[in-house]
Amino acid sequence: MALAYQDINMKTYNNLYPEIYSIKNLVLAWKRARKGKTLEKHGLNKEMISLLLKQRKVEEFRELLHILKKPQVVAKTLLIFPKEIASKEKKSLAEIEKILNMDILGNVLEKVHKGTIKASEIKNVLREIVKGKKHEEVKKEDLHVIEEKISRIIKEKPGLSVNAYMGLVMKEFHGKILGKEASEIIKKYVK
């Protein structure tokens, strides 16, 4: 003789059993697990996948992934950089996300795809946008201008080591130049 579902008098903690085994919750759990599996195929680590799922930005991630086929860069641009900029600029994450909407992020990633800016410069470009520059105005500093500034620093403080100049240059440019590029330019002027 089969018992109907209502006839079972289960001893559970606040009748949790029916909720765990409800079709709606099982389907929801299956969809979440499936999302994680498809994100793993893109090469994301478990931490990034967890952040995407928690912040419910999977669709935005997929949309931006169509622009730039580098999942780690897209995930950092969408999840990590806005938080870091909010903390640095002492603004709320909601304010930063309002400024850095999907259109802005898409345009920045498109510039990375075209080679106008490097992936390592995304955070600085986004910070400049938050400070008020339009995304069209933000561009990489000209190498000639950078070289002039570095030579001026070396002339102002002669006799320092390459590492000391490196520190001064990185302080001057606030991450707008890669360390490798700075080092090569410094080595031209320091013998």
What single string gives the DSSP state of each residue in 73-97? Answer: HHHIIIIIHHHHHHHHHT--HHHHH
On whether both 26 and 99 belong to a single domain, the answer is: yes
Average pLDDT, stretch 37-62?
A: 77
Residue 18 has pLDDT above 70, yes or no: no
Among 33-42, 86-95, 143-152, 173-182, where is mean pLDDT lowest?
A: 33-42
Question: Do 88 and 170 fall within a single domain?
Answer: no
Q: Is residue 71 situated within a structural domain?
A: yes
Mean pLDDT of the 89-118 span: 86
Q: Are residues 65 and 152 in the same domain?
A: no
C-alpha distances out from residue 172 to 4, 90, 119, 168, 180, Å? 75, 22, 21, 6, 15
Is 8 contained in some domain?
no
What span, in angstroms and rounded, lies between the C-alpha atoms of 143 and 138?
15
Domain membership of residue 150 (yes or no) is yes
Residue 19, pLDDT score: 58
Residue 137, pLDDT above cutoff 50: yes
Percentage of the residues of the chain whose pLDDT score is greater than 90: 0
pLDDT value of residue 37: 59
Q: Say if 6 falls within a structural domain.
A: no
Residues 168 and 112 in one domain: no
Q: Inform me whether the pLDDT recorded for 3 exceeds 50.
A: no
- Which pLDDT tens digit goes with each residue over 20-49? 667 777 777 766 666 555 666 667 777 887
| Domain ranges, residue 158 | 143-189
Q: Would you state the pLDDT for residue 9?
A: 53
Last residue of a domain, one of 84, 104, 131: 131
Same structural domain, 114 and 168: no
Indicate whether 112 and 148 sit together in one domain.
no
Average pLDDT of the chain, as a whole number: 77
Domain boundary residue, one of 108, 131, 154: 131
Number of separate domains in the chain? 2
Choose one of 131, 153, 173: the last residue of a domain. 131
In this structure, are residues 64 and 74 in contact, taking their beta carbons and an 8 Å threshold?
yes
Q: What is the pTM of this model?
A: 0.59
Residue 59 reports pLDDT greater than 60: yes
pLDDT band at 1 (very low <50, low <70, confident <90, very high): very low
Q: Return the SS3 of 113.
A: helix
- Mean pLDDT over 89-111 rounds to 87
| Residue 117 included in any domain | yes
